[in-house]
Copies of this chain bind each other. A is one copy, B any other.
Amino acid sequence: MTAHSILERIAAIVGPQGLLTDPRDLEPYVVDWRGIYRGASPAVVRPASTAEVAAVVTLCAGSGTPIVPQGGNTGMCGAAVPHAGGNEIVLSLARMNRVIELDALNNTMTVEAGCVLANIQQAAAEADRLFPLSLGAEGSCQIGGNLSTNAGGVNVLRYGNTRDLVLGLEVVLPDGRIWNGLRSLRKDNTGYDLKHLFIGAEGTLGVITAAVLKLYPRPVTTATTWTAVPHPQAALEFLALLRGHCGDRVAAFELVSRNCLDLVLRHIPGTRDPLAQPHDWYVLADLSDSRAGAALRRELELALEAAMHDTLVSDAVIAENDAQSRALWRLRETIPEAARSEAGMLYRHDIAVAVSRIPEFIREAHTALRNRFSGVDIICFGHLGDGNLHYNAFLPGRSRSDPAARDAHDVTAVVYDIVQRYQGSFSAEHGIGLAKLGDMARYKSQVEMALMYTLKRALDPRGIMNPGKVLRQVMGDG
C-alpha cells in the first residue's frame, strides 16, 4: 500500500475534517511547544470517536505505518512529536473532547482523551467536586496526554500522581482492537491490572481514548504560608511536624532557595519579598479542608508556633485572603520564567529522591557541581513533600552556541550520577520521550530494561506505536 492510498483510506474513515495534510496545518503538530523537537509527518489524523481511532490504527497496523499519538502537545520530552523521517502519522485526540458522564455520588467522571484539563477541573467544580490534577499547562494540555505521561503537578503530596486518579481506561491497542476498561469501581480484583500498563507509557503500547477519573470533596478553605527555614533539613522536619498536626490537610509543600526568590524579584514585575529579612531557604505550604471556618488557619498558626519553638522555622507569613495566597504562589510559579530571563545556560533536572534524603542530596550535588564548574549557580526548588526537586544548574554568561555549552552532558551526568547513588529518579514528572533515552540506557538495570522491551514486543509486535519513544526502536519498528 502506498502512503498516498493509506491517506485516502484514512480520509474515508475520519472524513475531511479529520485529516490535515497541508504543511501549514501540520506545523503546530510536528514541533513541540518549546521548539526543541522538530519532526515531519505526511498527515495529522483527528478522529472523532473511539471507533474511528480503532479503524485508523487497524489500517496502520496492516500497512506498518507508525503512529504518534498527540494530546495538547505540551510535553517536556518530545514524546508527542514525530521523528524527522517523515513516515509517522500524528494521531491527534483533540476532537474527542466530551465529558461523557459525571457521577457525583460515585465521585467519578468519565471523559474522552482530548478533554482539556482545565475543562475537566471546571466540570468537577460545577458538581461541587474536585479533580485535583493541577499543573502549569492545564489550560491547553489534554487528559490523554496527562495519563500517557502520568503527570505530576502541585497536588501530588495529597492526591497522588495522575496514575492515582484513574479508575478505568479505554485503549485502542496496537492492532486496532478496543480494550474497554472504563469501569468506575473502587475495588476490582479480577486479574492483572491492565490500566497501569498504559498510564505513563507515552503512547508506546496503545492509544488511550477515554478514562474514568476519581473526584474528591471540594476543599472550601485554604491556608497558605510562606516560611523561612534555616536549611533543607529544617524544611523536612517542618513537613513532618505539619503533617503530624494537620494530617492530609497538607496539600502542597514547596521548597524555594533564596536565589530562586532573587531571580523572581529581579525579573517578575510586581513581586516583593514577603518577609522583612532575607533567608537562605523558604517553604511555601498550602493546607486545605472541606470544612468552612477559621479552624484551618488556627491549626496552621499552632503548627507554625510549634515549628518556631523547635527552631525549624525562623519567620513566616500567612496569607490573609485569596489575593495574598495567589501572590505567594506567584513567587513559586514564576521561577522558571525568571530563570529564562537571565543570560546564561540553564541545565534542568527533574529529579526525585526519598523525601528524607533531600537535604543530603542538595549538599552533595551542590558541592560536586561547584567543585567541577566554576561560577555555577544552583536554582533549586520544587515539591519537597514528594521528594521531587527541579534541581537546575545555571552557568552565567554562556549561550547554547558557546563551545563551553558542550558541558551540558557533563553537568547533567554529575547530577544524575548522584541521583543514581541515592536510588532516585532522573525523571520524576516529565517522562522519557526522546529526551532521556540515553539516560534510560545508562541508569536502568538490564533486568528492568529487558522487562520493558518484553512488554513492548508482546503488546506491539509490529512496533508501530510511537516508535523510539521511552525505549529505543526495537526489531520490527517502522
- Among candidates B156, B356, B426, B436, residue contacting A106 with C-beta atoms closer than 8 Å: B356
Cα A184 to Cα B197 with chains together (Å): 20
Q: Which residues of A contact B (CB under 8 A)?
A: 103-108, 128, 149-150, 152, 156-157, 160-161, 163-164, 173, 177-194, 196-197, 199-201, 205, 217, 219, 236-237, 240, 243-248, 289-291, 295, 299, 352-357, 383, 385-388, 423-432, 436, 439-440, 443-445, 447-448, 450-452, 454-455, 457-459, 470-471
> Closest Cβ of chain B: how far from A221's Cβ, in Å?
10
- Among candidates B196, B219, B246, B458, residue contacting A290 with C-beta atoms closer than 8 Å: B246
> Closest Cβ of chain B: how far from A441's Cβ, in Å?
11
> Closest Cβ of chain B: how far from A471's Cβ, in Å?
7
Are the CB atoms of A187 and B388 closer together than 8 Å? yes
Q: Which residues of B contact A452 (CB under 8 A)?
A: 191-192, 194
Are the CB atoms of A187 and B425 closer together than 8 Å? yes
Are the CB atoms of B190 and A426 closer together than 8 Å? yes
- Among candidates B105, B427, B454, B457, residue contacting A190 with C-beta atoms closer than 8 Å: B427
**A423 (CB) vs chain B CBs: closest residue:** B183
Most buried by B among A164, A187, A450: A187
Are the CB atoms of B454 and A186 closer together than 8 Å? no
How many copies of this chain sit in the oligomeric assembly?
A: 2
Are the CB atoms of B387 and A106 closer together than 8 Å? yes
Q: Which 7 A-B pairs have the closest CB atoms?
A: A196-B196, A458-B458, A247-B290, A105-B356, A188-B425, A106-B356, A187-B428
Cα A197 to Cα B443 with chains together (Å): 22
Cα A354 to Cα B205 with chains together (Å): 28
Are the CB atoms of B217 and A428 closer together than 8 Å? no
Given contacts A179-B451, A248-B248, contact A436 B352 (CB under 8 A): no
Cα A103 to Cα B245 with chains together (Å): 19
Are the CB atoms of B291 and A191 closer together than 8 Å? no
**A470 (CB) vs chain B CBs: closest residue:** B191
Would you give 28 A-B contacts (Cβ < 8 Å), ordered by A?
A103-B354, A103-B356, A104-B356, A106-B356, A108-B354, A161-B187, A163-B193, A173-B451, A177-B450, A179-B447, A183-B424, A185-B423, A185-B428, A187-B428, A189-B432, A190-B427, A191-B470, A191-B471, A192-B455, A193-B197, A194-B448, A194-B451, A196-B196, A217-B243, A217-B244, A245-B290, A246-B291, A454-B459
Cα A443 to Cα B103 with chains together (Å): 24
- Among candidates B192, B248, B455, B459, residue contacting A201 with C-beta atoms closer than 8 Å: B192
Are the CB atoms of A299 and B290 closer together than 8 Å? no
Given contacts A196-B196, A246-B291, contact A189 B149 (CB under 8 A): yes
Are the CB atoms of A386 and B187 closer together than 8 Å? yes
Are the CB atoms of B191 and A156 closer together than 8 Å? no
Are the CB atoms of B190 and A440 closer together than 8 Å? yes
Cα A21 to Cα B184 with chains together (Å): 46
